[in-house]
Amino acid sequence: MKKETFEIKKEFLLNGQPFKIYSGAVHYFRIAPSEWRDTLEKLKAAGLNTVETYIPWNVHEPQEGQFVFEDRYDIGKFVKLAQSIGLYVILRPSPYICAEWEFGGLPAWLLRYPDMVVRSNTPRFMEKVANYYEALFKVLVPLQITHGGPVLMMQVENEYGSFGNDKAYLRHIKSLMETNGVDVPLFTADGSWQQALKAGSLIEDDVFVTANFGSKSRENLAELRQFMLMHHKNWPLMCMEFWDGWFNRWQEEIVTRSADSFQTDLAELVKEQASFNLYMFRGGTNFGFFNGCSSRQNVDYPQITSYDYDAVLHEDGRPSEKYRKLQTILNVKASTLKSIDLGTYSQPNLVNRVHLVDVLDQVGEYKESSSPASFKFGSGYGYMFYQTRVVGDNQMEKLQLLDVADRADIYIDHELVASQYQKTLGQPIEASLTPDSLVQILVENAGRVNYGTRLLSPSEQKGIRTGMTVDRHLHFGWEQWAIDLTRLGDLDWQTSANLNYGPTLSRFVFDVDRVHATYLDCSQLGKGMVLLNGINLGHYWQAGPTQALYIPKDFLKLGKNELIVFETTERDVKQVSFTNRQEVRINA
C-alpha cells in the first residue's frame, strides 16, 4: 500500500495538504469484534475521517510477562479494519489511560511490588513499562502512516497534568516509544487550564499539545492557543476529548447530555477551525472486572458496567439523536443506517445451585496467613473470602475491620451481621461470640480509581489491609480464598450443601437457534456478576441505575448455552430472562 505522510506544522498536513482531524473514540476492548465494522462504518458515514482509541495495559498483559493481542484484544486487526474502511487512526498507548477503566489501565499485578510507584520515573515502574512496550510496539509500529498504515500520531501520556509534573518521567516514556520504533508525531492531552498544560505537556521538547473539554469551546481553545504562543508554537488547535456525554456510577442517576447542547458546543469548535475527537463516538461495556472508580473526599464511587456514555452511538450500537446532529454540523447528508440485530431468547432453565462456602476450594486459590491477605494474593480482581475462628465468652463483643476495600459482607456463625460499603466501611460491629465462633467475610474489589493522585493511595490495594480487632486487640490466624471465576467450568455442581447461607452460584442453560445481541434482565437479582459461556459480563446491582447487562452476539453460540449467576447477597436467584428493551437499562 502506498505510504502517506502526516506532519504538524501551522496546520495538520496530510500528504502535504491541509487536513482537519474529525475523529471519534471507539474502544475496541469495550465492544465485541463482530461490532467493529458496523461501528466504524457508521463513524465514517457520520462525516468523521479518523478513529481514536486508548490501549489498556491491563488487558494486554493480564499476568506479568503474558501478552494478549488476539480475539477481543486484537488491536492490530482493529486498526487494519479502520484503514480498509478509509479511516485514519489515533492511538493512545500510554501506560495510564484513565478512560473510566480499572486502575486507569494499569495492571493490578504492579501492586505486588512494595516499591512500586505508578506513573513515576522510578526504576521498578519504568522496568515494567519497558517490558510491556517491547511487546506492544511490535504490533503498533507497522501500523504507522510512515509504514503504510493509517496511524497518524500517538500519545505519550494522558492528563498527566492532573497527576504530576515529572518531566523526566514524560521524557522517559517518550524515549521508550521512540526506541521501540515510533516515528509518527507524538502528543499529550490535558485539561485546558494553564497549570495542567504546563505540568502535563512536553511542549519544550516539540511534543504536540492537545486539550480535553466538552463545553465552552471558544474559551478552552483560547487557553490552549495562549499556552502554545507562550512557548512560541504556531500549531493547529485540537480537542483530543470533546465529551459528548458522561459516565455513570452505582446508586446515582444516569447522567445525560442533551443533543442540542452537544450540537451548539461542537459547532462552535468547528467554527473556530479546530480539529476534534469525540469522546465517545460509541461507548461500549465494562465487561468483567474492568469498570473504573471515581473518588471524592477519600470515598470511592465505582462506575457501572454499562459505558453507554450517552454517546453518538449507544452501548449496543444504535444511533442516538446526536448522530444526526453530528451529520448536520459536518454537512453530511443523512443516510439509511444498518439496523442493530437485537432480540430476546427463551427463558433459561435453572439446573444447579451451590453455596460459595461449600465450593471454596473449587473456585478459590487458598492461602493461610497470620494477618489477612490483601488482593496482592490471587488475580487482584473480584472477590476475596476470609475465614477465622474467634474465642469468645458467650457475650457481646466488638469487632472492627481495619483498612478494608471496597465492600465487606460479614458473617458470624453462619449469620449475616453486617454489609459495609463506602462510609460504613470499618464501623465497629457488636456480636455475641461463642468460645469457637466462625467469622467469615466476603470482600469485593468494586473497581480501582482511574483518575488523579489517589492512584497512589493504599486504598487501591484491595481487601483487608491491616486486619480485624476483637475487643481492642488485633486478631491473628486467617484462611482466605481468592475467588477465581474462571474456574467455574470445572465446578462440581453436585456438591452437597452443609448449611444454606451466604453467596450462591446458580447455573442456567438455554438453547439458541439464531445468534444475535441481547440484554440480560437483572432487575430480579441482588448484587453480583454473571458469566455467559465462561465470559464475564460484568457487575449487576439492584441499587441501579442500570438493571441489565448487554450481551453481544459474539458471546453466544448455536445450541446449548450456559449462564452462571454469582449472587453475593442472600437473595434467592430462581430465574433470569432476556430483553431487547433499552429502557430496562435504566430505572424508571
Active site residues: 159, 241
Q: What is the DSSP letter of 331?
A: T
CA distance 37 to 274: 27
CA distance 571 to 483: 20
HSE at residue 347, side-chain half, CA atoms within 13 A, is 7
Which CA distances in Å does 328 have to 45, 101, 276, 322, 325? 12, 32, 16, 10, 5
The residue type at 109: W
93 neighbors 129 (Cβ within 8 angstroms): no
What are phi and psi for residue 338, nearest 5 degrees? -65, 130
Sorted by sequence, the CB contacts under 8 Å of residue 365 that are 6+ apart come out as 377, 378, 481, 482, 484
E-only strand ranges, 248-348 = 275-282, 293-296, 299-302
C-alpha cell at 356: 460459595
Which CA distances in Å does 474 have to 390, 398, 486? 11, 12, 34
Q: In what order do the strands lie in the sheet with 429-433?
A: 429-433, 395-405, 463-470, 473-474
C-alpha cell at 40: 466504524
The region that residue 40 occupies, defined by phi over 0 for left and psi between -120 and 50 for alpha, beta otherwise, is: alpha
Q: What is the DSSP letter of 567?
A: E
Q: Give the orientation angle of helix 75-85 with respect to helix 123-140, to 10 degrees.
A: 40
CA distance 206 to 244: 29
538 neighbors 531 (Cβ within 8 angstroms): no
Q: How would DSSP label each residue in 444-480?
A: E----B-SSGGGGSGGGS-EEEEEEEETTEE---EEE
3-class secondary-structure state, position 423: helix
Q: Which of 170, 223, 214, 163 is nearest to 194 (CA)?
A: 223
CA triple 320-323-328, angle to 5 deg: 145
CA distance 145 to 6: 7
CA distance 45 to 27: 18
Beta strands 238-243; 275-282: pairing state? parallel
C-alpha cell at 202: 512536553
| Element counts in the chain: helices (H) and strands (E) | 10, 31
Which CA distances in Å does 337 have to 78, 88, 164, 285, 324? 21, 21, 44, 22, 11
